[in-house]
């Protein structure tokens, strides 16, 4: 099936698209196929950063190397070496870089909030936040084209939005010590640094499940608060981590429209499709785990392909509102999902390239759309 597809493809597409070979076969490059739609990205880490598949991408995100604890592991200590390596890789491959992420409640040293076991004051913490943002933005300048200024600050309980907005935010150390002000301060600081340095970098708010009925209204409420205060924000990052039981195309479209109506650019920042249906009890039962690629049922791979196909169809429809789609990895040979502490030993296959770095059906589904694509 795969080989037939590749032969058919070879016979029917223009020569300029035939510039990458996987094994002995040539396939379209994602970045060429999507050149008139949006940039296509991948998250890189030490295991996949030199993958031959990099030629498919026009954008990259550091999976961890730009997070607070990677670049700023202790007060007054900045370590940019690893992230700088990724910038070099990007430049050598003509790839642009998304900055991820300036402020998050994870991957951050406790000393940002506490000294000797005691919480610092709000002013002290906000000062540290501003200093961090300023140093990191200065270091990378326009080597990154955008920043996730804030990551995951919205409450993810299934509750409806409270009228007094009391349940909008995650009760993180940031929120408990600074209230909403750490949000405003982050975007204000990032915008000030951009102006002072004359940078072009765009500023995003990034989160997961922000297309769901629980999180969309809360996210819109926060975005409106930022806009009411005339604080600059350019876009929204929709992480878009799906599993076989979580994809709802209507919700996704509704969210894209709602964010676009606020005048925000949209980036799909961490797209992947977990090969399990996490709503089913067997997905958490070790007796039913897949321990290798060969044991993944055909119908699960088919369901995954359908999600990829439908999602990318929608992304193409909204190409005027969506400027980037990034996968949270490169190929099934390496995924953060295999370190999932809730499912020890379980292996996952969430991407469009398989464990041998070969294109999966999902790859063909999202690159052959002009000829009808796979269903």
Chain residues in the site for ligand GLA (CB under 6 A): 151, 208, 239, 270, 336
Q: Are 373 and 316 in contact (CB under 8 A)?
A: no
Residue ranges in 205-342 assigned as alpha helix (H) = 215-228, 249-261, 298-317
Please report how close the Cβ of residue 205 comes to ligand GLA at its closest, in angstroms. Answer: 12
The size of the chain, in residues, is 375
Specify the pairing of strand 96-103 against strand 146-151: parallel
Element (H, E) at 61: strand 59-62
How many other CB atoms are there within 10 angstroms of residue 196's CB atom?
A: 11
Q: Which of 63, 188, 270, 361 is catalytic?
A: 270
| Burial (CB count <10 Å: 0-12, 13-18, 19+), residue 279 | exposed
Question: Cis peptide leading into 101, omega within 30 of 0?
Answer: yes
Measured from the CB atom, is 25 or 338 closer to ligand GLA? 338
Please report how close the Cβ of residue 315 comes to ligand GLA at its closest, in angstroms. Answer: 18
Measured from the CB atom, is 59 or 309 closer to ligand GLA? 59
Active-site annotation holds for 368: no
Measured from the CB atom, is 25 or 69 closer to ligand GLA? 69
Structure tokens, 227: 């806009």
Q: Which of 129, 152, 188, 368 is catalytic?
A: 152
Structure tokens, 21: 């070979």
Please report how close the Cβ of residue 145 comes to ligand GLA at its closest, in angstroms. Answer: 18
Active-site annotation holds for 228: no
Measured from the CB atom, is 28 or 324 closer to ligand GLA? 324
Please report how close the Cβ of residue 337 comes to ligand GLA at its closest, in angstroms. Answer: 8
* Catalytically active residues, by annotation: 152, 270
């Amino acid at each position: 099936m795969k080989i037939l597809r590749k032969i058919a493809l070879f016979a029917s597409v223009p020569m300029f698209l035939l510039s990458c070979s996987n094994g002995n076969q040539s396939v379209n490059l994602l970045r060429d196929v999507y050149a008139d739609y949006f940039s296509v990205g991948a998250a890189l880490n030490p295991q996949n950063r030199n993958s031959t598949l990099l030629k498919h991408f026009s954008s990259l995100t550091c999976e961890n190397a730009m997070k607070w604890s990677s670049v700023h592991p202790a007060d007054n200590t900045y370590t940019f070496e690893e992230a700088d390596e990724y910038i070099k890789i990007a430049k050598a491959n003509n790839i642009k870089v998304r900055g991820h992420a300036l402020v998050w409640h994870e991957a951050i040293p406790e000393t940002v909030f506490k000294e000797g076991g005691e919480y610092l004051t709000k002013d002290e913490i906000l000062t540290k936040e501003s200093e961090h943002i300023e140093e990191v933005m200065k270091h990378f300048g326009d080597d990154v084209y955008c920043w996730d200024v804030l990551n995951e600050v919205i409450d993810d309980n299934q509750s409806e939005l409270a009228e007094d907005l009391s349940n909008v935010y995650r009760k993180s150390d940031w929120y408990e010590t600074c209230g909403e002000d750490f949000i405003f301060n982050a975007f204000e600081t990032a915008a000030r640094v951009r102006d002072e340095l004359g940078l072009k970098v765009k500023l995003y708010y990034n989160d997961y499940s922000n297309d769901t009925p629980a999180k969309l209204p809360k996210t819109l409420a926060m975005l409106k608060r930022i806009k009411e205060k005339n604080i600059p924000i350019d876009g929204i990052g929709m992480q878009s981590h799906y599993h076989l039981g979580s994809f709802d195309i209507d919700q996704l479209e509704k969210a894209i429209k709602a964010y676009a109506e606020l005048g925000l650019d949209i980036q799909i920042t961490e797209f992947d499709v977990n090969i399990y249906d996490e709503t089913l009890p067997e997905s958490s039962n070790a007796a039913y785990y897949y321990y290798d690629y060969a044991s993944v049922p055909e119908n699960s791979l088919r369901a995954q392909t359908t999600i990829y196909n439908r999602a990318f169809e929608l992304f193409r429809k909204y190409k005027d509102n969506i400027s980037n789609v990034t996968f949270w990895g490169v190929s099934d040979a390496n995924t953060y999902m295999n370190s999932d502490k809730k499912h020890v030993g379980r292996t996952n296959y969430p991407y469009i390239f398989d464990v041998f770095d070969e294109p999966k059906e999902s790859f063909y589904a999202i690159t052959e759309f002009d000829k009808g694509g796979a269903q």
